[in-house]
Amino acid sequence: MAGSQRLSDTDAIRGIEERLGCQFRAPEVLGIALTHRSFSATRGAPNNEKLEFLGDAVLALAVSDLLMKQFPHYHEGELSKLRASLVNARVLAQKAQALGLGEALRLGKGEEKSGGREKESILAAGFEALVGAIYLDRGFAAARRIVARQFMPDMQSRSGAAVEDCKTRLQEITQKLFKATPTYTLVMETGPDHAKHFVSQISVAGRALGRGEGKSKKSAEQAAAMEALEALRGEVEPQGQGVPAGREGGAARTAPGTETAGAR
């Protein structure tokens, strides 16, 4: 966005945490993820390059894992192509912009003057550093959930008929497990009319199960349902009662869809 200016550290961290649905235990880790090397070169502060390196690996693993679970019949070549279409500088920069990273980055004066807040390479690197920060602060399970939240709508749009109607599948499972149907709540709507961005949260009997994002309310709800299915699988599989894709599973406790400071 043209003419964007940097937010204060406090506003930047709060805004990103809100949009992510993730509260950092150590906000300073997020602060490092937002620090470009052009800023640290003049201030002597740590920069986000190591977190970018870490986040690149975490992102690749999380997306690969999600793709293998969502598309079990795809062969390696198809999975590689799909991952490449999802994880690239253009897509990561778009996700960074949607999260407001551009306004939150700490840049040196030179980068600031040259429009660094809108540069694709800087935004994409910032997104990878953010993923690395989430992994360090909250662990891989939390990082994977947030990656899923960010990328499920893209997987749906690229997969065609390969992705089932997750809302229908989830309703069948929750009816069996909890005798209740899911409730979807629109928690955020941003962007101009031609480029809307929606965030939906799903709950069952008042308990949060997942959160999803998308370019329409329907896609955001589908992404939330997909995350809820993942959460339910994670809860019941240790008990030997998995919830396989497309089938109901055994009894389970609910899992929260938003990371908080209470548990990893």
Q: What tens digit of pLDDT does each residue of 34-77 get?
A: 999 998 877 777 999 999 999 999 999 999 999 998 888 888 88
Q: Are 257 and 209 in contact (CB under 8 A)?
A: yes
What strands lie across the sheet with 183-190, from one edge to the other?
183-190, 197-204, 207-214
Instruction: Based on the fold, state whether residues 185 and 108 are members of the same structural domain.
Output: no
DSSP state of 243: -
Sequence-ordered alpha helix ranges (H) in 71-119: 76-86, 89-99, 101-104, 109-113
Q: Report the alpha-carbon distance of residue 109 to residue 185 in Å, rounded.
A: 42
Question: Are the beta carbons of 208 and 258 closer than 8 angstroms?
Answer: yes
For residue 23, what are the domain limits? Answer: 9-160
Do residues 112 and 68 share a domain? yes
Q: Which helix (H) or strand (E) holds 190?
A: strand 183-190
pTM: 0.65
- Tell me, what CATH number does 149's domain have? 1.10.1520.10
Give yes or no: residues 67 and 136 share one domain.
yes
pLDDT for the residue 242: 44
Residues 83 and 24 in one domain: yes
- Residue showing tokens 């990893």: 264
Q: How many domains does the chain have?
A: 2
Place of tokens 């990371």: 259
CA 215 vs. chain centroid, Å, equals: 14
Mean pLDDT in residue range 151-178:
75
37, 114: one domain = yes
Position 7 scores a pLDDT of 57
From the list 56, 111, 137, 154, the catalytic residue is 56
pLDDT for 238 beyond 80: no
Q: Looking at the structure, do residues 131 and 206 belong to the same domain, yes or no?
A: no
Q: Answer yes or no: 56 catalytic.
A: yes
Shared domain for 219 and 106, answered yes or no, is no
Q: What does the pLDDT read at residue 5?
A: 55
pLDDT given at position 145: 92
Q: What is the largest CA-CA distance in the chain?
A: 59
The verdict on 194 and 73 lying in the same domain is no
Catalytic residue, candidates 52, 111, 128, 137: 128
Residues 123 and 177 reside in one and the same domain:
no
